Structure 1
Amino acid sequence: MSTVLLWVAGVLAAAVGVAVSIALHELGHLLPAKRFGVKVTQYMVGFGPTLWSRRRGETEYGVKAVPLGGYIRMIGMFPPGPDGRLRASSTGRWALMAEEARQASFVEIGPGEEQRAFYRQPVWKRIVIMAGGPLVNLVLGFVLTGVALSAIGLPTGASTTVGVVQRCVLPADTTATTCPADVDPTPGAAAGLRPGDVFVSFDGQPVTGWVQLSRLIREAGGRQVSFVVERDGQPVTLTTTPLLTQRPALDADGRATGGTVEAGFLGVSPTATLERVPVGQVPGIVLDQLAGTAGIVLNLPQRLYGVAQAAFGTQARDPEGPIGIVGIGRLAGELNAEDSLSGNAFAERAGRLVSLLAGLNVALFVFNVVPLLPFDGGHIAGALWEVVKKAVFRLRRRPDPGPVDVAKAMPLAYGVSILLVGMSVLLLYADIVRPVTLNQ
């Protein structure tokens, strides 16, 4: 398959993955809401104009044009004002915003449906409903990470199969990408090694792994040795003299320790093997992702300032910074079009895309638990404050204060929404003119 087709396939796979993640997030709200008897009038994936919808019972299910989120619409999201009415007690701008939110919340409450309003539910039910969406994303983050790392694996282990045979010996500081006519071939190329050859023995010793083979090659620098490879199922004996040159110093496990030593050089690289991470390590990896994403959210103004500097100036884009939906699609395309490092290209590419979607779901969880409206965390914070407020009133032997008037936070919610729109526009522009790429 061509690189372009692989890139397009990666983008489409990411788009489907994002849509499914959003749909499951909203399902995490929908199912407990219906289980608790709350009337849900809409279940939508996306925002803006409706592309498709169908009514099932009392709920309209549909897909909208802008794939930047989704929502479910429940009746009675906000309680009446302190006087029990929907009219604002003040004509101020903030009070009018709260009044509009209450009126929109009550417009769909029909006769006899008062007890099915969201605000009428016990605090614990409201928390379960609002936390259901983010928790679905968190569970998806764990599951997808486990699939990518423990079921598929990472292309990290070096096998004894030849992946690349360098054609010539080039100076370390050269920028040349082809072999000049007057440059000597590498010992591996001169011996006739080919990609796909599997080392069986080297200098009379059976080969058990790449680290051991690398050590044997380094020790054989400057002297002629014979070795056996398996090619097309048949043993082939070859002869070479590893070039004695300055090489990075390695420890017993084949890791660079810093500095250089004089050692043998053959000019071959192995294929990678897909090494599976033990399932027990997955929670720690996801927790590290949560901490990293939370750090980005806590420093979001600074991060967005860096994105703006990159988009409108000459500063490099931070690969660890926030990216938008276009950036996610581009990364997915690049990940799918990257050459395979192992012998299983399909599994390796699938693992890359699944890992990307796992990280996306972790990010969705973190953003949605931010304790501000319009995030789910804003409603959760309001419910928790209600618990605290009622406990204080009980201790003081005062009457039940009733539900917390979350509608009073609507001015802040509008402000946060405006900032989110601005952030989305900035990331969209930056993802187009200065995208995050794999090789930056």
Structure 2
Amino acid sequence: MQTETPAPPPESVSASATDTETTNDFSGLMLMIAAILALGFLASWGWAFFVVALIFMIFMHELGHYLTARWTGMKVTEFFIGFGPRLWSFRKGTTEYGVKGIPAGAYVRIIGMNNLDPVEPGDEQRSYRVKSWPRKMLVVSAGSAMHFIMAVVLLAVLALFYGVQNGDGAWQVSRTSQASAAAELGVESGDVILSVGGEEVTGFPQFGDLVRARGGELTEFTWERNGEVITDSVVIGTRLTGEGADAFQGLIERDRILAIEGTDVAHWDDILTVLEGREGEFVDFTVDPVGEKFPRVMIDVEILDITSVKNPTVGFFGVGDEPLLDKFGLFGSAWHGVTTFGEWIVVSGQALVQFFTPSTLGNFFSDTLGGGTDLTTATDVAEQREINSRALDIRNPDEERILSIYGAARLGANASFEGQLQLLAILNVFIGVFNLLPLPPLDGGHVAIGTYERLRSVGGRKHEVDYARVLPLTYAVFAFLVVIGVFALARDIIDPINIG
């Protein structure tokens, strides 16, 4: 997200530092507020809240630049949220503050950011370019610093009011699926599963491995409920693998077949028995579809090749997981916010490096174009359902994509309040790191240029970068980021993801 870009030269200012000039026309500002309220009424208040939260993040980023610039004696002529036509503004002293019509970023205009920026002789000592290197670095890094502070605060708030996932991976049952082995056993929300087939459960991923390997087998489960330990056995159910789903036109991986033309089926052998000799026919199935809450009847499912499938199903028990949380006090929560922030900084840096490799970028562009083709030409039921399942199921992680503003807002709008705070913390860390990439026009580009000038000035002779030579790179980077943003937006529309 580009939150600081060059703006048109400010209008001449004759007011003193204590004068205030306010635009009397509030219609533009009222229109923007009305648009946010309409979003809440027509879409959801989750959308409205998250859009406001994103605008606040952008505001805080620019506030960091503004406050440090003023503190270090630099002259700030504009502080605007948004781009395009002015909706509302006022001037106090030498700075014009306001809101513009396109809420896609914000900017603070500091005079003399480079040698191409004309500065009145009387203002030269208040320009960015004459300040010391430490002061320059403080100002250009302040935007990311504000993101980092917000991330730490959000992480601390989450730890204080919601708790933190237990470090040993402990979990409890959050829900059970209908017509599943878990439902047959009577497993309930809040139960803690202790062992499967005599093997101790150490975490939900390992529990999944134990279950998948035992599809169709009578297996002993031990679980705890309100201090009471319960042991019972059940035949673990199954769901289709990709190979198994390919045997039926219209079914996809992770679907569960519950009945065929009214006959209950629990395992692949049951399916083979019911469908013996019926390849090529069209049959009605009752299915528990992946990504949907309730079973449904699928009419006229074509039976393809079911006899040569080698690995048709995997085990399915039918429970969701909810991590057991540790509670922290005020100071413990603050420390957790700091340590988790440090971990996320590393992860965000690694993710950015990975994303901007040629292979990952190539996959991102090709998958986006391919996703668009799939969505517009998917006449096959299974193909369309596979597209939909990617939008609904977090078990299909996609590490080779980046979110647009719309994608982030969509995730936030559909999340719980806790999920919204978590996503805002993640976004703050990522945006803060992203803005420090050493490329103009990002903040990190100013850091790199300022540091280069500092190193070249060692020895007493001041060196100043000629921005006329930097502009082609600036425009190229900006154009590339716009392309990335357009593709990310398209990807989030045609192939959205969900965080749960």
TM-score by length of 1: 0.65
After superposition, the C-alpha distances for 1:264-322 in whole angstroms (9 at most, x for unaligned) are 15999898765446534433422332222222322334444333223221588853331
After superposition, the C-alpha distances for 1:179-221 in whole angstroms (9 at most, x for unaligned) are xxxxxx83549xxx9x8xx9xxxxxxxxxxx44xx55xx8xxx
Deviation >6 Å, runs of 4+ = 4-7, 252-255, 266-273
The letter for the 2-side match of 1:64 is K
Matched, 1:426 2:493: no
In 2, are the aligned partners of 1:165 and 1:188 still within 8 Å (CA)? no
Aligned pair in 2 of structure 1 residues 382, 158: CA closer, same or farther (>3 Å)? closer
Name which of 404, 418, 422 aligns with 1:351. 418
What runs of 5+ residues in structure 1 fail to find an aligned partner?
80-101, 173-184, 199-209, 219-245, 336-348
Q: Secondary structure at the match of 1:383?
A: helix
In 2, are the aligned partners of 1:14 and 1:353 still within 8 Å (CA)? yes
In 2, are the aligned partners of 1:323 and 1:427 still within 8 Å (CA)? yes
Q: How far has the Cα of 1:60 moved from its partner?
A: 1.1
Give the whole-Å Cα distance in 2 for the aligned partners of 1:309 and 1:166: 36
Q: How far has the Cα of 1:354 moved from its partner?
A: 0.7
In 2, are the aligned partners of 1:166 and 1:186 still within 8 Å (CA)? no
Q: How far has the Cα of 1:9 moved from its partner?
A: 2.2
Q: How far has the Cα of 1:415 moved from its partner?
A: 0.8
Name which of 13, 32, 38 aligns with 2:49. 13
Q: How far has the Cα of 1:407 moved from its partner?
A: 4.6
Aligned pair in 2 of structure 1 residues 251, 271: CA closer, same or farther (>3 Å)? closer
In 1, are the aligned partners of 2:165 and 2:325 still within 8 Å (CA)? yes
Give the whole-Å Cα distance in 2 for the aligned partners of 1:148 and 1:171: 34
For 1:417, the equivalent position in structure 2 comes to: 478
Aligned pair in 2 of structure 1 residues 333, 265: CA closer, same or farther (>3 Å)? farther
Further displaced range: 68-77 or 42-51: 42-51
Matched, 1:308 2:369: no
Matched, 1:262 2:323: no
After superposition, the C-alpha distances for 1:248-269 in whole angstroms (9 at most, x for unaligned) are 8324789738466524159998
Name which of 25, 34, 37 aligns with 2:70. 34
For 1:371, the equivalent position in structure 2 comes to: 438
The letter for the 2-side match of 1:293 is S
The letter for the 2-side match of 1:186 is E
For 2:412, the equivalent position in structure 1 comes to: 332
Q: Secondary structure at the match of 2:44?
A: helix
Instruction: Give me the CA root mean square deviation.
Output: 3.5
In 2, are the aligned partners of 1:142 and 1:283 still within 8 Å (CA)? yes
In 2, are the aligned partners of 1:43 and 1:72 still within 8 Å (CA)? yes
Give the whole-Å Cα distance in 2 for the aligned partners of 1:17 and 1:303: 30
Aligned pair in 2 of structure 1 residues 67, 300: CA closer, same or farther (>3 Å)? farther
Q: How far has the Cα of 1:33 moved from its partner?
A: 0.8
Aligned pair in 2 of structure 1 residues 274, 7: CA closer, same or farther (>3 Å)? farther
Give the whole-Å Cα distance in 2 for the aligned partners of 1:372 and 1:253: 42
Give the whole-Å Cα distance in 2 for the aligned partners of 1:166 and 1:436: 22
Give the whole-Å Cα distance in 2 for the aligned partners of 1:295 and 1:269: 30
Name which of 340, 353, 356 aligns with 1:285. 340
Give the whole-Å Cα distance in 2 for the aligned partners of 1:253 and 1:123: 50
Which residues in structure 2 correspond to 1:32-431 (within 5 Å)? 32-79=68-115, 102=116, 105-106=117-118, 109-153=119-163, 168=179, 170=180, 186=184, 188=186, 210-211=191-192, 214=193, 249-251=199-201, 256=207, 258=210, 261-263=219-221, 264=232, 275-276=326-327, 278-279=332-333, 280-301=335-356, 302-314=359-371, 319-320=398-399, 321-335=401-415, 349-391=416-458, 394=459, 400-431=461-492
In 2, are the aligned partners of 1:7 and 1:333 still within 8 Å (CA)? no
In 2, are the aligned partners of 1:382 and 1:406 still within 8 Å (CA)? no
What runs of 5+ residues in structure 2 fail to find an aligned partner?
1-39, 222-231, 235-317, 375-386, 391-396
Aligned pair in 2 of structure 1 residues 276, 306: CA closer, same or farther (>3 Å)? farther
The letter for the 2-side match of 1:414 is Y
Give the whole-Å Cα distance in 2 for the aligned partners of 1:10 and 1:292: 27
The letter for the 2-side match of 1:122 is S
Name which of 21, 43, 61 aligns with 1:25. 61
The letter for the 2-side match of 1:15 is V
Give the whole-Å Cα distance in 2 for the aligned partners of 1:150 and 1:308: 41
Further displaced range: 285-294 or 273-282: 273-282
In 1, are the aligned partners of 2:154 and 2:337 still within 8 Å (CA)? no
TM-score by length of 2: 0.58
In 1, are the aligned partners of 2:159 and 2:336 still within 8 Å (CA)? no
In 1, are the aligned partners of 2:456 and 2:463 still within 8 Å (CA)? no
The letter for the 2-side match of 1:305 is G
Aligned pair in 2 of structure 1 residues 252, 8: CA closer, same or farther (>3 Å)? closer
In 1, are the aligned partners of 2:77 and 2:94 still within 8 Å (CA)? yes
The letter for the 2-side match of 1:372 is L
Q: Secondary structure at the match of 2:109?
A: strand
Q: Secondary structure at the match of 1:50?
A: strand
Aligned pair in 2 of structure 1 residues 310, 6: CA closer, same or farther (>3 Å)? farther
Q: Secondary structure at the match of 1:365?
A: helix
After superposition, the C-alpha distances for 1:91-129 in whole angstroms (9 at most, x for unaligned) are xxxxxxxxxxx1xx11xx335212111111111111111
Aligned pair in 2 of structure 1 residues 154, 13: CA closer, same or farther (>3 Å)? farther
Comparing both chains, which one has the higher relative contact order based on Cα–Cα distances under 8 Å and sequence gaps of 6 or more?
A: 1
Give the whole-Å Cα distance in 1 for the aligned partners of 2:202 and 2:429: 37
Percent sequence identity over matched residues?
29
Give the whole-Å Cα distance in 1 for the aligned partners of 2:178 and 2:123: 77
The letter for the 2-side match of 1:112 is G
- Count residues in correspondence: 328
Q: Secondary structure at the match of 1:425?
A: helix
After superposition, the C-alpha distances for 1:109-153 in whole angstroms (9 at most, x for unaligned) are 335212111111111111111111111111111111221234322
